[in-house]
Structure 1
């Protein structure tokens, strides 16, 4: 079912060459060996703004401006990659742009957006959350007659993002066919564009969509048969944490089954970020790691021998987040756990506990939670180890020695309060 005119996408791709060369489609030897398959990465983290978002923004500007000078003021609301792509396009076309960002936006993202837009953009910090920021942008458009540049829900944005697929088609080695194409989903612009471009070339079953577990807007919409608004989202994967998929995007994607949408735990994404950084030296943002993380959740036998293309959507990673990402990755891998211990208030009790630790167990955190108890004291302890099975033996020794404990590693409420 054809949902996109490839000729328009090809023209958009040709226009993009005034900005940057095609991002590489790289055969990744590490992942290929790991999964016994041919794994290609489409490196959208290597665009000038380190994400694919510049493609849609550029195409939107091109269509509105039409090649001539413009006195329009363009407007966007974003705290991330869309703002940077928008700013880059403003400077390229020499037009004025107004960027609305939440007050809570990290300074690093504000600075990068200002760098890409230069004197052509103005940044306004409004509201504590995106919804407030977006409302302010809409009000500005109404009051001034400005032109809103949407992040994903527009035909020209979808067409621009589809240039990712056009480049993949041109870059795939001769004779190679794609068995599976894996792409992240936030608002749906990228996935609508890619699936539309390949509609006549690949069967519907070849596409695998991946969303953060805490923001399943496409999966819930496909299950319901219409667009739904999620009551809440986990914003950890900020580049794909969208509460409502775009109307135009869902129209292009509603032909797919909800079973083709894989929900990826946020902590699994953290493991992928750490692995790609340590092994490959590739810096990925959480949304950029989604497709690679999804691959790790598939049965190995189901993908062995296949040719698989993974869209790496972005690399705008704030390294201030690295300690948290590493922490979550270790917890997901089963290499770190947190316990609340109930130790008797007697001499030698702590020494007895330490003797229960194995040779590869290391105490990463130790904190008294309640010091005034007469007979017992409560302790928060974090333990790191080298293999997840080490915890099986450790917990068995806890039980055998009558040690009172509670594993709070996966207890989100307690973990958020005290870890």
Structure 2
């Protein structure tokens, strides 16, 4: 067994001072759907509702073992890493200074403060994370503190490897596949680093959000590269550039094994898990389950472990998640409709709708001419095939309209 595998086992033992192994549970619903044995590794059930506590605790423990006077730690994070660091600071009774963007939701600030208590000071600075990170690193140098990176740190990677140790112990055999969500790459590097030694027959599939495919870009380039734009919706995995240390441990993987999950489809998966299974996952936490539909042919008849990486979901986002899921399913669309400005025009339009169609939004934008006005209209239906039929009826009746559902620019300003 390699030194890394031995260290991962030791990290796992040390974590028992904080919490028991997270559940590895067979999911009957997903197993039946995909004709496979689907197991969920429930990292959403750690004390901070994500796996990030593992890496933060391990890095802090190892540093304090070699540098006993290390009593001040700094990090920059708007989410799960901040909460993991805060929890670890309280456990070791050391000081933590956690930098967060000014735009961080109050719920995340409050949770971080709850986990850290009086051991933690939260500093809000910067509208964007890059500004927050720069400020935290300047402060760390000035204060002589120790910076805890969320993923680009060898000890953090070692801590995340404990997920793989628990999977093998709990399952009692090597799984055929492990599906890993990827953001900065720490979890993927740690779990594969352990299992490639202890379960060499296991195959891996990696999934990242379509709007933040930094691992795929790195594999193609042969090195980490910065994406020009990142969709921040999957905030736990929306990373512009995968960490150098994690990528150094992942260079062996094939580009074909790195998949992308569309953000709107992830919303559909989140709602399904909530409504059918009662499992609350954040967008990044649902990545590995979402991508099963793309792996259907590969995994049939196999034993598959999906890592549900986190469940820190703010329910104020639920309306947005529902809407994105409806759009992906084809059950909701937005149109700009040119409406005649005459008595009875609205009634005539309403007669175009089918029995399963419902108006979710209706807003006059402005009059484009004396006799016509532009209307923003949102429609919901029960079956996706209802929309082609509606469009045909509108065309036959001579209506001019534009479907803006998938027009990102117009949707941003109008919806």
Please give the TM-score of this superposition, normalised by the length of structure 1.
0.96
- Residue 382, structure 1, aligned to residue 378, structure 2: yes
Cα distance, 1:72 vs structure 2: 2.7
CA contact (8 A) 1:4 1:196 kept: no
The 3-state SS of whatever aligns with 1:50 is: coil
Cα distance, 1:126 vs structure 2: 1.1
Q: Which residue in 2 is equivalent to 1:78?
A: 77
The size of the alignment, in residue pairs, is 415
Q: Which residue in 2 is equivalent to 1:59?
A: 58
Question: Structure 2 vs 1, CA of residues 4 and 274 (structure 1 numbering), >3 Å: closer, same or farther?
Answer: farther
Q: Which residue in 1 is equivalent to 2:206?
A: 209
- Residue 311, structure 1, aligned to residue 307, structure 2: yes
Deviations 1:165-209, CA, capped at 9 Å, x for gaps: 00000011x4x5422211110100000001101113455881111
The 3-state SS of whatever aligns with 1:253 is: coil
CA contact (8 A) 1:4 1:193 kept: no
CA RMSD of aligned residues (A): 1.6
Q: Which residue in 2 is equivalent to 1:113?
A: 112
- Residue 185, structure 1, aligned to residue 169, structure 2: no
- Residue 139, structure 1, aligned to residue 138, structure 2: yes
Q: Distance in 2 between matches of 1:9 and 1:303?
A: 27
- Residue 267, structure 1, aligned to residue 264, structure 2: yes
Moved more, 314-323 or 349-358: 349-358
Q: Select 2:358's aligned residue among 352, 356, 362.
A: 362
CA contact (8 A) 1:204 1:256 kept: no
Q: Distance in 1 between matches of 2:341 and 2:94?
A: 70
Q: Which residue in 2 is equivalent to 1:288?
A: 285
Q: Distance in 2 between matches of 1:4 and 1:270?
A: 40
Q: Distance in 1 between matches of 2:340 and 2:309?
A: 52
Q: Which residue in 2 is equivalent to 1:5?
A: 4
Cα distance, 1:372 vs structure 2: 6.0
Cα distance, 1:69 vs structure 2: 5.2
- Residue 405, structure 1, aligned to residue 405, structure 2: no
Q: Distance in 2 between matches of 1:410 and 1:112?
A: 35
The 3-state SS of whatever aligns with 2:294 is: coil
CA contact (8 A) 2:196 2:202 kept: no
Q: Select 1:238's aligned residue among 214, 235, 241.
A: 235
- Residue 394, structure 1, aligned to residue 393, structure 2: no
CA contact (8 A) 1:3 1:252 kept: no
Q: Distance in 1 between matches of 2:106 and 2:134?
A: 22
Q: Note the 1:168-183 alignment, pairs <5 A.
A: 168-172=167-171, 174=172, 176-183=173-180
- Residue 31, structure 1, aligned to residue 30, structure 2: yes
Q: Distance in 2 between matches of 1:127 and 1:103?
A: 6
- Residue 297, structure 1, aligned to residue 294, structure 2: yes
Unaligned runs of 5+ in 2: none
CA contact (8 A) 2:338 2:400 kept: yes
Deviations 1:27-49, CA, capped at 9 Å, x for gaps: 01111111121110000000000
Q: Select 2:324's aligned residue among 306, 322, 328.
A: 328
**Structure 1 runs (4+) greater than 6 angstroms displaced:** none
Unaligned runs of 5+ in 1: none
Q: Note the 1:217-236 alignment, pairs <5 A.
A: 217-236=214-233
Q: Which residue in 1 is equivalent to 2:160?
A: 161
The 3-state SS of whatever aligns with 1:198 is: helix
CA contact (8 A) 1:4 1:197 kept: no
Question: Structure 2 vs 1, CA of residues 4 and 225 (structure 1 numbering), >3 Å: closer, same or farther?
Answer: farther
Cα distance, 1:219 vs structure 2: 0.4
Cα distance, 1:296 vs structure 2: 2.3
CA contact (8 A) 2:152 2:243 kept: yes
Please give the TM-score of this superposition, normalised by the length of structure 2.
0.97
Deviations 1:94-148, CA, capped at 9 Å, x for gaps: 1111111111111111111111111111111111111111111111121121100
The 3-state SS of whatever aligns with 1:18 is: coil
Q: Select 2:197's aligned residue among 193, 196, 200.
A: 200
Cα distance, 1:89 vs structure 2: 0.3
Moved more, 347-356 or 256-265: 347-356
Cα distance, 1:261 vs structure 2: 1.0
